[in-house]
C-alpha cells in the first residue's frame, strides 16, 4: 500500500524525509509513503526540498503564499491519500507574544482544514509547537481540534518530547494525527521508553563531520563574544554564568535562557530555533563559537548528505523551523502499521481530543 503524500507549509523537507524513510513490509506487502506534491512560500526552502526530496520532479513543489494558492493546481499534479501540514508556529510559540489564532500566522491552520475538505485524504499529520495548547487560554487548540473533527476525522493529539525518542535535542511538539472516520483504522501513540537518550556530543562527534561537508561554515565571532564565552560553562547562559561586568549583556526585562547558552555535552541539546539575533545560534560546549549549520542539522537528525540551499542565515532558519526527521519517522511508521494492522508498543496520549 502506497500513500501519495501532499504537504502544505512543507519547509525544507524534514517531514518528507521522515515519510520517505518510514516504509516497511508486512505479510509480503509493502507499506510506504510517496511524495506527490508540496508547497511553501520561501524560495530557498522550496529549492532545498526539490534538491533532496524530488530532484527528478521539481515541478511538484509549488512555491507560493498559501493564501494565494489554487488547490486545483495541486490536484492536477496528483491526487493524494495523505496530507501533512506543519503550519507556521510564530503566534503559538512560548518565545513571543502568543497571539494565537488572532495573530498573523494563527489563522493559517485553516488552510490545512481546507485541504482536508478538498482532498479528503485517508489520514493527515499536523505539527506545531507545544505552546499551541495554551494560546488564547486553550481556546485556539480546542477550535483547531474541533475543525479537524468536523471535516470527518478522528484526531489523536499528543505532545511528543522528541528527546525521549532518541533525538539528540529537547524538542517538544504537538503532533495531531487524523484518520478518516469511515476507515476501520485506529492510531496509537508510539511508545518512547524503548529509545535510548542520545546526547548532543554523540550527535555532533559520532562520526566526525567531514571538514568539507556542505553547510558547515563557521560563524565569525566577535572578540567580545569570544571573551564572554570563556566565562560560560556547559549548560550555562549569559545570565546564569559568572561573567565580568564589562562582558555582561545590558538587557532589560525578560532574560531569555538560550542567549549565549552552551550545550551540555552529556545531555540532548536545547531546542534549535530558526530565530535570528545575536546569542541565539546554539553554542558549542567547549569551543568559543556558535554551532555550524551542519552541526545544527545533526541535532535535527538530518543526514549529512541532505544539502540546504541558500545563504547561511537562510539555511539556519530552515533548519530551526524543521522537524527532527528521525522522531517524526517513528510516528509515520506507526501510522503505516495502523493501516497494516500491525501491533506495536504504544502509550497513553497526554492530550485529550
Question: What is the mean pLDDT of the segment spanning 19-43?
Answer: 95
Question: What is the mean pLDDT of the segment spanning 51-71?
Answer: 96
**pLDDT on residue 96:** 44
Question: What is the mean pLDDT of the segment spanning 338-349?
Answer: 95
Contact 44, 63 (CB under 8 A): no
Q: How confident is the model at residue 352 (pLDDT cuts 50, 70, 90)?
A: confident
**pLDDT on residue 36:** 98
Burial call 108-119: b when 16+ CB within 10 Å, e when fewer:
bbebbbbbbeeb
Q: What percent of the chain has pLDDT over 90?
A: 80
**pLDDT on residue 94:** 40
Q: How confident is the model at residue 99 (pLDDT cuts 50, 70, 90)?
A: very low
Is the pLDDT higher at 94 or at 290? 290
Phi, psi of 255 (to 5 degrees): -110, 100
Q: Which residue in 46, 54, 89, 200 is the catalytic one?
A: 89
Which one, of 143, 125, 140, 39, lies nearest residue 91 by Cα? 140
54 is catalytic: no
Copy the grid coordinates of residue 324: 527532527
Question: What is the mean pLDDT of the segment spanning 38-59?
Answer: 97
Contact 288, 226 (CB under 8 A): yes
On the question of pLDDT at 146 being above 80, the answer is yes
**Chain mean pLDDT for the chain:** 91
Q: Which domains does the chain have, with CATH numbers?
A: 2-197+323-346 (3.40.50.150)
Question: Out of 130-139, 144-153, 302-311, which region has the weakest mean confidence (pLDDT)?
Answer: 130-139
Residues near 14 by beta carbon (within 8 Å), at least 6 away in sequence: 300, 302, 322, 323, 324, 325, 328
On the question of pLDDT at 152 being above 80, the answer is yes
- Could you give the angle at which helices 109-119 and 139-150 cross, rounded to 10 degrees? 10
For residue 314, the SS3 value is helix
Amino acid at each position: 500500500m502506497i500513500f501519495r503524500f501532499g504537504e502544505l507549509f512543507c519547509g525544507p523537507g524534514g517531514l518528507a524525509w521522515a515519510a520517505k524513510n518510514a516504509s516497511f513490509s508486512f505479510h509480503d506487502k509493502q507499506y510506504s509513503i510517496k511524495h506527490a506534491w508540496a508547497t511553501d512560500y520561501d524560495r530557498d526552502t522550496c529549492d532545498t526540498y526539490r534538491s533532496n526530496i524530488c530532484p527528478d520532479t521539481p515541478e511538484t513543489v509549488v512555491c507560493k503564499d498559501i493564501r494565494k494558492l489554487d488547490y486545483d493546481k495541486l490536484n492536477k499534479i496528483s491526487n493524494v491519500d495523505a496530507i501533512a501540514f506543519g503550519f507556521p508556529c510564530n503566534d503559538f510559540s512560548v518565545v513571543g507574544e502568543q497571539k494565537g489564532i488572532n495573530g498573523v500566522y494563527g489563522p493559517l491552520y485553516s488552510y490545512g482544514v481546507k485541504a482536508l475538505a478538498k482532498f479528503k485524504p485517508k489520514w493527515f499529520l499536523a505539527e506545531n509547537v507545544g505552546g499551541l495548547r495554551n494560546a488564547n487560554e486553550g481556546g485556539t487548540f480546542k477550535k483547531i481540534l474541533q475543525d479537524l473533527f468536523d471535516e470527518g476525522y478522528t484526531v489523536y493529539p499528543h505532545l511528543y518530547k522528541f528527546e525521549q525518542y532518541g533525538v539528540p535535542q529537547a524538542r517538544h511538539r504537538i503532533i495531531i494525527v487524523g484518520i478518516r472516520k469511515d476507515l476501520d483504522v485506529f492510531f496509537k501513540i508510539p511508545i518512547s521508553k524503548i529509545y535510548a537518550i542520545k546526547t548532543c556530543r554523540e550527535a555532533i562527534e559520532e562520526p566526525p563531520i567531514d571538514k568539507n561537508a556542505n553547510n558547515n561554515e563557521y560563524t565569525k565571532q566577535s572578540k567580545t563574544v569570544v571573551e564572554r564565552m570563556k566565562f560560560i560553562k556547559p549548560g550555562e547562559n549569559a545570565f546564569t554564568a559568572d561573567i565580568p561586568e564589562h562582558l555582561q549583556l545590558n538587557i532589560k526585562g525578560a532574560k531569555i535562557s538560550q542567549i549565549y547558552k552552551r550545550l551540555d555535552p552529556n545531555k540532548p541539546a536545547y531546542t534549535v530555533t530558526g530565530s535570528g539575533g545575536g546569542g541565539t545560534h546554539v553554542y558549542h560546549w567547549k569551543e568559543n563559537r556558535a554551532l555550524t549549520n551542519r552541526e545544527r542539522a545533526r541535532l535535527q537528525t538530518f543526514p549529512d548528505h541532505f544539502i540546504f540551499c541558500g545563504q547561511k542565515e537562510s539555511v539556519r532558519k530552515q533548519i530551526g523551523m524543521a522537524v527532527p526527521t528521525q522522531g517524526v519517522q517513528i510516528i509515520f511508521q506507526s501510522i503505516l502499521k495502523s493501516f497494516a494492522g500491525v501491533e506495536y508498543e504504544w502509550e497513553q496520549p497526554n492530550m485529550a481530543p
